[in-house]
Amino acid sequence: MKFAEIENWITDVVKLTNPKEVVWCNGSQEEHNNALAAMAKRGEILPITAPGYKNCHLYRSHPSDVARTEHKTYVCTNTPEAAGPNNNWLDPDKAHAKVDRVFRNCMQGRTMYVIPYCMGPIDSPHSGLGIELTDSLYVVANMFIMTRIGDKALEKIKTNKFDVVRGLHSTADLDPDKRYIMHFPEKLLIKSIGSGYGGNALLGKKCHALRLASWQAKHGGWLAEHMLIAGIEHAGKTHYVAAAFPSACGKTNLAMLIPPEKHRDYKIWTVGDDIAWLRLGEDGRMWAMNPESGYFGVVPGTNENTNPIANDMLNHDAIFTNVALTSEGEPWWEGKTKGKPQIDWRGDPWGGVGTAAHPNARFTVSAKHCPTYSPAAEDPQGVPLSAIIFGGRRSTLNPLVAEAFDWTHGIFMGATLASETTAAITGQVGTLRRDPMAMLPFCGYNMGDYWQHWLSFQDKSQNLPRIFQVNWFQKNAQGKFAWPGFGDNIRVLKWIVERCENKVDAQHTPIGNLPNIDDIDFDGVSDADRDQLLAVVKKDWLEELDDLDDHFGKYGSHTPPQFKVLQERMRKEFTTTDEQAG
């Protein structure tokens, strides 16, 4: 895109929104410090003054603006079929008219910040460029941490050689009824208004790096995915894996895993915790790059036992969003092992009802502060993948781990992923829904076409990663998690690595290859829980296979015919063999 076109767009936006001034962000540390200081002065952010915290701040968002709002998120392609039943759709002209009415004069008396940014290392040929216009300093401060903003990105944009995603954002008056997060894939354009919250407002993240990037990726022969990337080092070799879990289902935790004492012969390197851009290398391997440069992580549940790495990063240069405070002014959240809340996330005295921190409270920290940050994360080519993992939060059915028979079956595993909803989305928590590849809220085009696109890699390489499915969230008869999870997930990663190295056998079941009991460390897990974790219950799976008819039926002729073949094969195998258990 020509820089002159971008300048014209900015001029038009200024006319529409009418800010008192326009400030270009250069991306310097000084600029970032000034942004935080200006917000603190205006009372929009609270410096954490408790001892033990350095340069940390608390931001309280509007109580109606605490999570992504999927029902207010639109993909406005030229035809509804291109967006698919997985997206809310509006005709682009009508969408512009609707949202521009809200944008009119919305920045009156405010400063409009121009944030040039780069998703991925500046020197990577695979990075993506964007410009976000926003009236929120909170957005500026978070984009500074989460992406590479400022002069270097601008220089690259000014070469006129690359696609540039344009994003317009305003908090306007935060009216939930006038909140819209709109995407125009054909124009690589985003318009977001009425929310200051993470995924709705930091446009480089879900709007650009997933919804529009997935569209770009489909046309460019690559993939933009809701995945963590981690290196698993053992005996002098590092295997890289990318794992897709829905929002608040354990990506950050897995990406920063510290193995317990017993498994310290393994070490995890953090490459990314939320988004991965995947492409085939000349060697036929799939290479993964993290387009982000920081973490916007779930705070509740974080402590020195569950995620010691994140826990240690939270005492300097962190922005907390919607946590509670102790009487000493220390940030507090459910799952914190020290202190007691005195002020809740809204800023009111804590009354003991509900949660003191918002369940979707977040931290923003730079990846550079992460002690396990992989040097390969800054590599312009990314890292080569040995395995892709799909996982959901499912209290029943899905075993602890299963390996796909082949690429097509692996895509089927991803396409059938179901997960209980979490506080990362406005709406009901704990409802089971299909969330294919953890991309239901993020795929910027028809999900059926997206599955076809995934399948197309089959013909392009003999060297693709193996595919696995995991589930850390099975509940036992007592309603407790059957699997210890967190650091102990290394036990499952170990099996995955051993499978990639052809070191262990597996047990064939109709739904995939499962580990032999002795090949996974079940120390501390009761026999009943272990059996449940590895069970493939015929009756339940036949129900599941029936349920998939509805799921795949939604996408009509866009659904790959291979899926039906697999469903039938599994049904047949279940009905001709005995029930498998353990």
Compare residues 270 and 386 and give the one whose CB is closer to ligand GTP: 270
Q: Which of 76, 118, 249, 500 is catalytic?
A: 249
* Residue 201 beta carbon to ligand SPV: minimum distance, rounded to whole angstroms: 9
Active site residue 249: yes
The one segment of 242-250, 262-270, 278-286, 551-559 that binds ligand GTP by CB under 6 A = 242-250
DSSP string, 31-76: HHHHHHHHHHHTTSSEE--STT-BS-EEE---TT-SSB-GGGEEE-
Q: Could you say which of ligand GTP, ligand SPV, Mn ion, none residue 481 binds, taking C-beta under 5 to 8 angstroms by partner kind?
A: ligand GTP
* Residue 292 beta carbon to ligand GTP: minimum distance, rounded to whole angstroms: 11
The one segment of 139-147, 217-225, 295-303, 460-468 that binds ligand GTP by CB under 6 A = 295-303
Q: Could you say which of ligand SPV, Mn ion, ligand GTP, none residue 249 binds, taking C-beta under 5 to 8 angstroms by partner kind?
A: ligand GTP
Q: How far is CA 346 from CA 61, 237, 325, 349, 357, in A?
A: 8, 47, 10, 9, 8
Measured CA to CA, the distance from residue 326 to residue 261 in angstroms comes to 32
Q: Does 252 engage in binding with ligand GTP (CB under 6 A)?
A: yes
Among 200, 489, 559, 567, binds ligand GTP (CB under 6 A): 489
Q: Could you say which of Mn ion, ligand GTP, ligand SPV, none residue 301 binds, taking C-beta under 5 to 8 angstroms by partner kind?
A: ligand GTP
Q: Which of residues 457-486 bind ligand GTP (CB under 6 A)?
A: 472-473, 481, 485-486
CB 414, CB 374: distance < 8 Å: no
Among 31, 65, 274, 435, binds Mn ion (CB under 5 A): 274
Q: What is the signed CA dihedral for 76, 80, 83, 86, rounded to 10 degrees?
A: 120
Task: Work out whether strand 128-134 and strand 164-170 pair parallel, antiparallel, or are unpaired.
Answer: parallel
Measured CA to CA, the distance from residue 271 to residue 233 in angstroms comes to 13
Q: Does 363 engage in binding with ligand GTP (CB under 6 A)?
A: no
The structure tokens listed for 328 are 């000493």
Q: Does 32 engage in binding with ligand SPV (CB under 6 A)?
A: no
Among 87, 136, 253, 559, binds ligand GTP (CB under 6 A): 253
* Residue 52 beta carbon to Mn ion: minimum distance, rounded to whole angstroms: 29
Other beta carbons within 10 angstroms of residue 375's beta carbon come to 9
Amino acid at 319: I
* Residue 39 beta carbon to ligand SPV: minimum distance, rounded to whole angstroms: 19
Q: Does 301 engage in binding with ligand GTP (CB under 6 A)?
A: yes
Nearest to 499 by CA among 472, 466, 475, 529: 466
Radius of gyration of the chain from its Cα atoms, rounded to whole angstroms: 23
Who contacts 204 (Cβ-Cβ below 8 Å, separation ≥6)?
117, 119, 130, 132, 143, 146, 147, 167, 291, 292
**Helix axis angle, 3-17 relative to 151-158, nearest 10°?**
120
Size, binding site for ligand SPV by CB under 6 A? 9
Nearest to 254 by CA among 209, 193, 295: 295
Q: Does 306 engage in binding with ligand GTP (CB under 6 A)?
A: yes
Measured CA to CA, the distance from residue 105 to residue 574 in angstroms comes to 62
Q: Could you say which of Mn ion, ligand GTP, ligand SPV, none residue 510 binds, taking C-beta under 5 to 8 angstroms by partner kind?
A: none
The one segment of 154-162, 247-255, 498-506, 513-521 that binds Mn ion by CB under 5 A = 247-255
Say how far residue 488 (Cα) sits from the centre of its chain. 22
Q: Could you say which of ligand SPV, ligand GTP, Mn ion, none residue 297 binds, taking C-beta under 5 to 8 angstroms by partner kind?
A: ligand GTP
Size, binding site for Mn ion by CB under 5 A? 2
Q: Which residue is nearest to ligand SPV (CB)?
A: 199
Q: Could you say which of Mn ion, ligand SPV, ligand GTP, none residue 455 binds, taking C-beta under 5 to 8 angstroms by partner kind?
A: none
Q: What is the signed CA dihedral for 80, 83, 85, 89, rounded to 10 degrees?
A: -60
Compare residues 355 and 461 and give the one whose CB is closer to ligand GTP: 355
Q: Does 247 engage in binding with ligand GTP (CB under 6 A)?
A: yes
- Identify the bridge partners of residue 296 per DSSP, sorted by sequence position: 364
Who contacts 237 (Cβ-Cβ below 8 Å, separation ≥6)?
none
Q: Which of residues 200-259 bind ligand SPV (CB under 6 A)?
A: 205-206, 247
Q: Which of residues 396-455 bind ligand SPV (CB under 6 A)?
A: 424
Q: Does 56 engage in binding with ligand GTP (CB under 6 A)?
A: no
Binding mask 152-191 for ligand SPV (x = CB under 6 A): ----------------------------------------
DSSP conformation class of 414: H
Q: How far is CA 406 from CA 137, 455, 467, 528, in A?
A: 48, 11, 8, 30
The structure tokens listed for 161 are 């050689």
Binding mask 207-246 for Mn ion (x = CB under 5 A): ----------------------------------------
Amino acid at 477: A
User: Which positions are annotated as active-site residues?
Assistant: 249
Binding-site ranges for ligand SPV (CB under 6 A)? 68, 198-199, 205-206, 247, 274, 296, 424
Binding-site ranges for ligand GTP (CB under 6 A)? 245, 247-253, 273-274, 297-298, 300-301, 306, 424, 472-473, 481, 485-486, 489
